[in-house]
Every structure is written in C-alpha cells, then in structure tokens.
Amino acid sequence: MTARTHRGEISTRRSLLKNSGLVMAGAALLPRTAWSPEAPSAPVALARCDSYGAGVLPTLKKMFDQIGGIGSLVKGKTVAVKINMTGSPDIRAGVISIERMTFTHPDVIAATVHLLSAAGASRIRILESPSRSAGPLEEFLISAGWDPNDFIRASTGAKVEFENTNFLGFGKKYIRFPVPKGGLLFPAYDLNHSYYDCDVFVSLGKMKEHRTAGITLAIKNCFGIVPCTIYGDNAPVDEPGLVPRGGRMVVHNGNRAIPRLNQAPPIRRRPYFLTKSDEIAASTRMPPTTRMKLLPCAFRSSTAFCGLVGS
C-alpha cells in the first residue's frame, strides 16, 4: 500500500497485512509530532451477539456496564452519534438488506439511542453524510426501508434529532476544527456544526472491508464527517458549494491529498488511510474548545460488537 491509492486499486486483506510491515517501519521514521494523540487507555468491552433483534439491547447494555457505565459521560448532555451508511440505501446484495451489509444496523442504532437516553442524555443527534446527498438524513433512512421514528421511539426521554452533515445543514456556518500539531493533509477541517454543537461524540461504525482502508472501524467511520460541499467531487475550489455535486472520491483517490502529502516527504511512506482518517478523527478530538469529548470505550466496543454481529 502506498500513498497513491487510485480508483480501482483495491486493497485486499492480504496486501494490507503484507504492507503493514512496511507501514510500521515507515511509521517508526516519522517524527513524533506527526502521530495522533496517544491511544486512550480506557477499558474496552467486546461481546458476542448471535443475531440482530432482541439480543442487541441487553448485549450492548452489558458492554456499557463493563466499561464503567456511560451516565457520568452523557447525563444532561448532547450526544452526537455518527452512524455509517456507505452506498446506495436501496441497493441490496440479492435480497440481503443493506443494514446486513454496509450500514450500521438500525437495531444497533436504536439500542444505542435507548441506552444513551436511559443514561440521562438530554439530546441525541444522529449524524451521517450520505454520499452525494444534501437531503434530510431521515429521507436517506427511509430509502433504506427504515422508519426514523423507530429511533425517536427508542429514546426514553432524550430528544432525538437527525442531520445530514454532508453540507451546511441546519447550521449557519461551517466550524473549523484545527488538527493537532498542524496536520498532514490540511491544518484544519471545516465541518458541519453538529460536530461542534455536542458534548459527547460517538462513532457508531460498521465493521467491514473497505477498498481503500482495508477495513472500516470507528476511526474510519469519521472519514465520513467531511462535507462533500468542500471535500467532495466537483466541489467549488474557493468556497463551499450549496449542495454536494458528487461523492467523496476526490479524497478517497488522493487527488487533492497527494500534493499536500508531497510537501511532507515522510508522509509518502505513510498509509494513506491512516493519514486521512487519523487526521480527520484527530481534528474532532480537539475542537477549539474542550466541549467535545470522545466516548472511546463505548464507540470501540459498539463497533467491535457490530463487527461480531455482522460477520
């Protein structure tokens, strides 16, 4: 795997493993400032859940308990939940629904909403940046055959809201998130207000293969927070577009990223997906204020949980 990852160049698990040695060697040469912040040392819960449905909620509840509970983190707070909906919502693999393939399963989302609400969250905002779309997120969910009201009903009291973060959305302006230590691709990212106007951020990913990154987990899920009005295909150069005019292939392919990467020679040896996703994720960890906090254990455990169920 090299910094140049082009459309049609698909990373396989074999190539990912093969190249990981080179990656590690290259990474060791990087200056310390190029790395993301230290990995969190909070506890991680893993669980097995044999199927979606009734078993999801008790399993997730137990996992949250195992990491020490989430009440102290979310009580009275606004929680942003970034879900993962990659691909067209009305395309299935044969008759297999999209939530059993690439989308965070609605049972997992509903269970998360329920538990966050039960733990005292005052507002839960379900977020995603569906490719090419500036429509309401609820519409994207409906296209997948879901009912957004299911998530509202899953709450025991917290207000549940939805926002498509692929553009300005309900905000008045984009919020600039500086990347710690200056950044590798960009020194900062301009994001939808939802990633700023929250107290707690949860990445509720979907464990799956990814043609560029090799695998999607919670950090890779954050790749989808960048608005296509700025970072997408056919986006205007000097200012954000009103609506997305394409997907995220520009950033996927590195068309925009490569020139910046070339400015920092060591970066060439760095795996492309780590560069981008770490950087974007890191920017969300360090907003201009300290209002945003990660929920590392919860999102990590839930992501692993998703992967176990989905595999």
Partner 1 sequence: MEVTKLVPFRWPTAWSDPKLLSLLEGSPIGCLVASGSPAGVVEAARKAGLTVLEWNSLGAAPLAKVDWNSAAECLTITDLVWPRVKPVVRDRASSGPTGGPWIDSNTWVARLADARAPGKQIWLAFDPPKEEEPPNEAAYRVAVADAAAVGTRWILSLDEKLSQAVAAGNAEAVKTWRGILATAAFFETRSAWRAYVHQGPLAIISTFAGDNEFMGMELLNLAARRNLQYRIVDRSRMASADLTGLRAALWADADPPAPDVVAKLAAFARGGGLLIVPRTAAHLFKGEGTLDCGVPGYELRTFGRGKVAAATRDWDDPFFLAADAHDLVSRRYDPIRIFNGPSYWTHYSVAPGGNRRLLQLVSFAGASRFPGMGRSNEVTVRFTFRHSSVTLYRLDAAPEALRPAKDGNNIEYQLPEFAVYAALEVKA
List residues binding partner 1 (CB under 8 A): 88, 90-95, 97, 132, 134-139, 142-143, 145, 163-164, 167-170, 242-243
Least distance between partner 1 and beta carbon 29 (Å)? 40
Query: For partner 1, which is the closer residue by CB, 99 or 278?
Result: 99
Least distance between partner 1 and beta carbon 239 (Å)? 15
Query: For partner 1, which is the closer residue by CB, 240 or 287?
Result: 240
* Closest C-alpha among 119, 122, 126, 156 to residue 141: 126
Query: CA geometry: angle at 125 spanning 121 and 131, to 5°?
Result: 155
Query: Got the DSSP string for 104-167?
Result: PPHHHHHHHHHHHHHTT-SEEEEEE--TT--S-HHHHHHHTT--HHHHHHH-SSSEEEEEETTS
Phi, psi of 208 (to 5 degrees): -165, 170
The answer to whether the beta carbons of residues 275 and 185 sit under 8 Å apart is yes
Least distance between partner 1 and beta carbon 172 (Å)? 12
Structure tokens at 230: 């700025």
Query: For partner 1, which is the closer residue by CB, 18 or 153?
Result: 153
Least distance between partner 1 and beta carbon 272 (Å)? 24
Least distance between partner 1 and beta carbon 107 (Å)? 9
Query: For partner 1, which is the closer residue by CB, 130 or 271?
Result: 130
Least distance between partner 1 and beta carbon 133 (Å)? 8
Query: For partner 1, which is the closer residue by CB, 40 or 170?
Result: 170
* Closest C-alpha among 198, 139, 131, 123 to residue 165: 131
Query: For partner 1, which is the closer residue by CB, 110 or 295?
Result: 110
Q: β-pairing, 208-210 with 214-216?
A: antiparallel
* Closest C-alpha among 212, 194, 164, 208 to residue 284: 194
